[in-house]
Structures are given as C-alpha cells and as structure tokens.
C-alpha cells in the first residue's frame, strides 16, 4: 500500500486530487489535512510515502510546512500542488528539494506525470 | 489618471494573455471548451464621484453578487476580486463538479459551495495576477482567499471605502457550453503600486522603440 497525505485547506481540491490519484495509483491509502500544522502532525504520525502540499493555507503555510517536514525527514517525497503561477515562487519552492511543482487544477495528465516519477522512485513498489 | 493609448493597449494585452490562461485553467476544471470575450480594462479612481460602479457592473440588476477576493501585501498592496452574479453560481458549481445541471437560482449556498467558489476564484485570480506579474517581473505575496455575498449597493460601498486609491476593472464573459457567465475582475491598488505598475508598462513601451 502506498500512503499518500494531501494537505490542502480546500475540501474541493482535496477530493479532486484524491479521486484522480485513486484512479492512477492502484493500491493507495489517502489521508487528509486541512492546514500546515495538522499536515505536520499527520506526517509524523503516518510517515506517508508521498505528501501533496498546497502553498496558501491558514496557520502554517505550505512553504513552512515543507521546511519542517524536511527537518523531520530530508528524503520526504513532496509534491506541491498550488494555484500560484509566479515563476519566483516556483524557483523558491524548488530549492527545498521537492519532488515536483504542479499548478492547479490537478488533472489526470498532471497525475500521470507524477505517477511516472513515483514509479521510478519506488522501483516497482506499486 | 491619464494613460497613453499605448499604455492602455499594453495593459489590455497583458490581461488578455493572463485571462486567456485563466480560461484554459477553467476549461481543465469543467472539462468543456470555454469561449472568452476580450476583456476591456479601465483604470478608475476609487474615491472619485465619477467612479460609477453601477455603470460598470452590468449584472447589478440581478441583485446579489458573489465576490471572491485575493489580497496581496508587501511590495504590492491591494486586492483582486472576481465578481459574478450569484444567480449563475449554482450552475457554475455544477459545471465545476461535472454534475448534472439543475435549474435552481436560489442563493442558499452551503459551506461546500463556498469552498468550491473560493478555490476556483483563488485559481483564476492567482492565474491573472501571477501571469501578469511574471510578464512585468512583479512579485505578489498573497493572503488567504475569501468569498462573500453582497448586494450591489453593499458592494459599491465596499469598493469606495477601500484604503487603496485606484481600481483596475476588467470585464469578462465566459461562455461554458450553453451557459454564459459574465463578470468582472476588480483590482484595487495603492497609489504606489499603481505607479510602479504603470512605470513597468512604460519601460516595456520604451523597449519597443529601442
């Protein structure tokens, strides 16, 4: 089973990401958090294989969450899914050694790209 | 606020590009082709008596407006609001959820409906501001998106009582299948931010003749 944690304050986006991932990742357990602090807590508790993080969230924002997750586990596999299309934001976030940076909306095509990266990383785990 | 024809033309083209990208994003969300009209852009003084928002918000006659807002601070100060007639929002939400459309025009929106409008508004406004920022090398620091229902008078009051002095208004119409959703995007800007924006456009204009 591949454990995936989705951290996004929008329930709409959580559901879209989860529905698409369920179609493409056959054996997955998907968990949710609605803000950064809750995301960090769930990361420590669940130790997910992949974390999907939104950037603009109440409380602890996505960028700060990524830094804290990386302090706990520098090899954490983090996918950023954000509405922010600014080049300077992407450059700043990519310096945090994330797996990839995706702009919303999350689509099947974008999920496929991520799944290909996951397959390469997992060496046939799925 | 006087602007040369070329400044106005560049501003319109920049927003055309970013609104075009936003239409592409919306098309991905609803899974249908989106037809978009060319936005008309105006710069107005928020406090001026001539600032007759009634004249520009054509859907005011339909009563309630649904306003999705994304504020920004630090280098650039202001807020961007996406305004639609609330009566069309039920259909828009069904399109976003790819559900069968129900002919309901009530204004009884649930938390889930507000969440959807907040998130879609956030995606569209991020695209419009972010793409314009990328083209002009401006960076925005956003605060959390909000969504509110207003009647036209309350909205006019809210617009005129902003701390920001100038407003950029873009009129947009999205046609999704057989549904026409017309709306507007209002960007309130502080004087400093507007001057900086216009200076960047002038530099772009000058570079055309180098």
The residues, ordered by sequence, that sit 6+ positions from A4 with a Cβ below 8 Å of its Cβ are: A21, A25, A28, A29, A30, A31, A48, A49, A50, A51, A52
**How are beta strands B179-189 and B141-142 bridged, if at all?**
unpaired
Report the CATH superfamily, name and number, of domain A2-120: Response regulator (3.40.50.2300)
Question: A126: pLDDT confidence band, cut at 50, 70 and 90?
Answer: very low
CB < 8 Å from B in window 56-85 of A: 56-58, 82-85
Q: Is the CB of residue A11 less than 8 Å away from at least one CB of chain B?
A: yes
Contact state of A56 with B142 under an 8 Å Cβ cutoff: yes
Best residue of A16, A34, A104 to probe chain B, by most B CBs closer than 10 Å: A104
pLDDT tens for B91-146 read 888 888 887 766 666 678 889 889 999 999 999 999 999 999 998 999 999 999 99
Domain definitions of chain A by residue range: 2-120
Domain definitions of chain B by residue range: 5-207
Contact state of A105 with B139 under an 8 Å Cβ cutoff: no
Percent of chain A at pLDDT > 70 equals: 97
| pLDDT over threshold 70, residue A76 | yes
pLDDT number for residue B186: 85
Cα B23 from Cα B14, distance rounded (Å): 14
Give B-chain residues touching A85 at CB under 8 angstroms.
21, 126-127, 130-131, 134
The mean-pLDDT minimum among A18-22, A102-106, B1-5 falls in B1-5
Give A-chain residues touching B131 at CB under 8 angstroms.
85
| Stretch (H or E) spanning A103 | strand A100-103
pLDDT number for residue B200: 93
Radius of gyration of chain A (CA): 13
Give yes or no for a contact between A103 and A12, defined as CB atoms under 8 angstroms apart: no
CB < 8 Å from B in window 29-58 of A: 56-58
Closest of B199, B196, B193, B172 to residue B71, by C-alpha:
B193
Closest of A109, A1, A118 to residue A52, by C-alpha:
A118
Question: A68: pLDDT confidence band, cut at 50, 70 and 90?
Answer: very high
Question: Higher-confidence residue: B172 or A43?
Answer: A43
Whole-model pTM over 0.80: yes
Give B-chain residues touching A58 at CB under 8 angstroms.
144
Contact state of B119 with A56 under an 8 Å Cβ cutoff: no
Torsion of CA A116, B116, A53, A66, to 10 degrees: 160
CATH of domain B5-207: 3.40.1550.10
Residue with token string 């969440």? B115
Q: How far apart are the first and last CA of chain A?
A: 8
| pLDDT over threshold 70, residue A63 | yes
pLDDT number for residue B3: 61
Please tell me the distance in Å from A84's CA to the nearest CA on chain B.
5
| Backbone φ, ψ for residue B131 (5° rounding) | -70, -40
Question: Higher-confidence residue: A5 or B171?
Answer: A5
Minimum-distance CB partner of B127 among A10, A57, A85:
A85
pLDDT number for residue B50: 45
pLDDT number for residue B49: 43
Nearest CA in chain B to A15: B97
Averaging pLDDT over each range in A13-22, A32-41, B122-131, which range is the top one?
Answer: A32-41
Positions in chain B short of pLDDT 70: 1-3, 38-39, 46-62, 101-106, 152-153, 156-164
Question: Which ipTM score applies to this complex?
Answer: 0.78
How many A×B Cβ pairs under 8 Å? 51
């Amino acid at each position: 089973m591949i454990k995936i944690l989705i951290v996004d304050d929008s329930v709409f986006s959580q559901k879209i990401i989860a529905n698409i991932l369920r179609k493409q990742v056959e054996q997955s357990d998907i968990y949710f958090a609605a803000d950064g602090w809750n995301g960090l807590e769930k990361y420590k508790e669940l130790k997910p294989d992949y974390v999907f993080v939104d950037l603009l969230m109440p409380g602890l924002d996505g960028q700060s969450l990524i830094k804290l997750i990386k302090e706990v586990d520098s090899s954490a596999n983090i996918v950023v899914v954000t509405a922010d299309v600014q080049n300077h934001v992407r450059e700043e976030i990519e310096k945090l050694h994330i797996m990839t940076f995706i702009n919303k909306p999350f689509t099947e095509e974008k999920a496929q790209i991520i799944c290909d990266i996951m397959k390469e990383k997992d060496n046939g785990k799925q | 606020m006087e602007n040369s024809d070329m400044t106005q033309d560049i501003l319109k083209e920049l927003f055309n590009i970013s609104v075009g990208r936003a239409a592409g994003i919306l098309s991905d969300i609803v899974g249908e082709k989106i037809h978009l009209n060319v936005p008309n852009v105006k710069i107005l003084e928020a406090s001026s008596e001539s600032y007759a928002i009634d004249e520009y918000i054509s859907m005011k006659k339909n009563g309630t407006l649904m306003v999705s807002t994304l504020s920004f601070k630090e280098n650039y100060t202001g807020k961007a609001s996406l305004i639609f007639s609330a009566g069309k929002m039920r259909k828009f939400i069904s399109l976003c959820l790819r559900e069968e459309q129900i002919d309901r025009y009530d204004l009884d929106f649930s938390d889930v409906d507000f969440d959807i409008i907040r998130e879609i508004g956030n995606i569209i406004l991020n695209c419009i501001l972010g793409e314009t920022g990328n083209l002009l090398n401006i960076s925005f620091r956003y605060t959390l998106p909000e969504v509110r229902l207003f009647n036209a008078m309350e909205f006019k009051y809210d617009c005129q009582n902003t701390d920001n002095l100038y407003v950029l208004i873009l009129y947009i119409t999205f046609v999704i299948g057989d549904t026409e959703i017309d709306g507007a995007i209002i960007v309130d800007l502080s004087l400093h931010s507007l001057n900086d924006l216009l200076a960047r456009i002038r530099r772009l204009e000058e570079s055309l003749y180098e």
